[in-house]
A and B are shown apart, each in its own frame.
Chain A
Amino acid sequence: MRALALALLVGCAPPADEPLPLGSDAASCGSCHEDHFDQWEGSPHANASRSPILAALLPEVEAEWGALARDTCEGCHAPAHDPGDDGIGCVSCHAATGNHEERDGALVVDPSAGIAGPFADAAPSPAHRTRSGAFLASPSLCGTCHELTGPNLVNEPTLTEYRASPAAAEGRTCASCHLPADGERLLSSDASAPRATRSHRFVGFDPPWGAPEDVAAAAAERTRRLLAEALELRVERAEGGVTVTVANVGAGHSVPTGATFLRELWVDVELDGAVIAERVLELGDQPMHGERPVALLTQADHVTGGSLEAGGSRSVFVPAEGPVEVVLRGRAIRGAVLDALDLRALEPQIPTHEVHRVSGAPTP
């Protein structure tokens, strides 16, 4: 079927302002761009609207904050840039021409403008018009959804964090870490020469919900590596114990970022495999109602805690009598959130990543 469609299309590149002849949903794109489609299919972007956490949170949001707040969430998680996509599809980025604001999902997507690639010399395609898209490679594109100023207590300033980070000063972009270089390959089934490409797995904190075990394990390892490159764990000898330091040395934003009220990273101290000091240092936001911690942001009136800013570090002294192992761990969804949403059954899908393990001992 694809061969027939392409045979009909070869030699007649679509003129401007015509819809994409094979459709603009991800499955249609994947009929030629198989590798990218396969990578994307298990990504947080493909799953943006399929997350069971989101599905459980949306009714809470609507009940507490109103229907408009729910719409705001869905504006990024289920933008419907193509009716055939239920998440964030290919056209969400490759047909984006800009944004009305660099926040809150105010993306402008126009498939009739042509499909953007990151190459200055956009190769013509018989299947759709092509164009060079500097916006595609710009943090402004990612930041359109990864910079949220609501609803209510939701505050996810990832783009702002990035712009203030050493990574931005060095010229690294979102793609440097989240769409890493993936070698050279044919970009589509009708391409004549290989080109440099990037992984479309959009590696981040969220697990690939409902994915087969091997896919989930591979995704978990990518997440662990990403966190390990972002965070450094140092253990220094001290009088009567050790000083534990976590530093954000690699991320171009705070860690965690985004939905920090769901995330948790923490440091445990172990002796002979048993935890002797739990959560001596924690990263992530804690929703609070008055003086009381609550599980969900919808139950909160403010947030405490906080993420570790790019280039920043936090230290804590831990009393210890002998050699210990210090472990930095992270998990995409807090246990308390799962309990509050009655989703404990999802726990096997939410790995606890052992990001770093470092040995240390007090000063003799």
Chain B
Amino acid sequence: MGMTRFQALLAALALTLGLGSATSVRADDDTPYSQIDAFDREWAVGFYGTGHAGSYFAGGIGGRLRWQPFGDDVPLGLEAYLEATIVDWPGQGFRHDYPNGFNVFFPVRLGRDVRLRAFLGFCDILSFVEPAQEGAPRADDVLFGIHGGGGAEWAVHSMFSLFLDLQANGYMGHDRASADWTGGVDEEFTFFWNAQANLGVQFHLGR
């Protein structure tokens, strides 16, 4: 008798949790701080370069704070991030965006130094357009959305790792116009999407 789809899902989850537990060993209190594996540490701070492509193109930098509160008992973590990007803007003026949000992520250890993860979360973008003409009306907006994706991390030191994330973002915002003295935001909501790649370094802290 074959497994149902639900049973298969549970099995995959159990395998994932088991893999996470089997391949990582939580440092005990006696382990010297410098010898604790990067991925066994509770906190991490990351810095990265980011590129967005889709409804619009953008590039910039970002930073994030990570917390894995349950150690290896539950392979789950939380992240908050903030990015600063410059957007390729079809109108006149200069658009700069500040995407921010949080992730819930699910890590899977593939050995001592390599880890994969899946994540999803809520996000928003504080988006500003500097008018082409001084004093002209602004076309600023706040976009709200969700995102999800996956990533790979490679620990190059007990406190440092490199990472690459690929994610998809979907936002609800507004069409906007900015040209010479015109700055306007449509009243109707519009859907925007993009794919995002982040490449950066992470500093792992704590036990």
Using a CB–CB distance below 8 Å, which chain A residues touch chain B? Answer: 97-102, 106, 108, 113, 131, 134-135, 138, 140-141
Contacts and interface: CB of A to CB of B under 8 A. Distances in A.
Contact of B182 (A99, A113, A131, A134): A99
B177 A98 contact: no
Nearest to A96: B181
25 contacts: A97-B135, A98-B131, A98-B133, A98-B135, A98-B182, A99-B181, A99-B182, A100-B137, A100-B177, A100-B183, A100-B184, A101-B182, A101-B184, A106-B184, A108-B137, A108-B183, A113-B135, A134-B133, A134-B181, A135-B133, A135-B136, A135-B181, A138-B181, A140-B180, A141-B181
Contacts of A108: 137, 183
A113 B131 CA distance: 16
Nearest to B136: A98
A131 B131 CA distance: 17
Interface of B: 131, 133, 135-137, 177, 180-185
B153 to A, nearest CB: 46
Contact of B136 (A97, A106, A131): A97
A99 B133 contact: no
Contacts of A131: 135
Contacts of A98: 131, 133, 135-137, 180-183
Nearest to B178: A98
Nearest to B138: A98
A112 to B, nearest CB: 11
Given A102-B182, A134-B181, A135-B136, 20 more contacts: A97-B135, A97-B181, A98-B135, A98-B137, A98-B180, A98-B182, A98-B183, A99-B137, A99-B181, A99-B182, A99-B184, A100-B177, A100-B183, A101-B182, A113-B135, A135-B180, A138-B180, A140-B180, A140-B181, A140-B182
A135 B137 CA distance: 12
B139 to A, nearest CB: 8
Nearest to B135: A97
A99 B185 CA distance: 11
B136 A100 contact: no
A101 B180 CA distance: 11
A100 B182 contact: yes
Contacts of B131: 98
Contacts of B185: 100
Contact of A101 (B135, B136, B177): B177
A135 B136 CA distance: 9
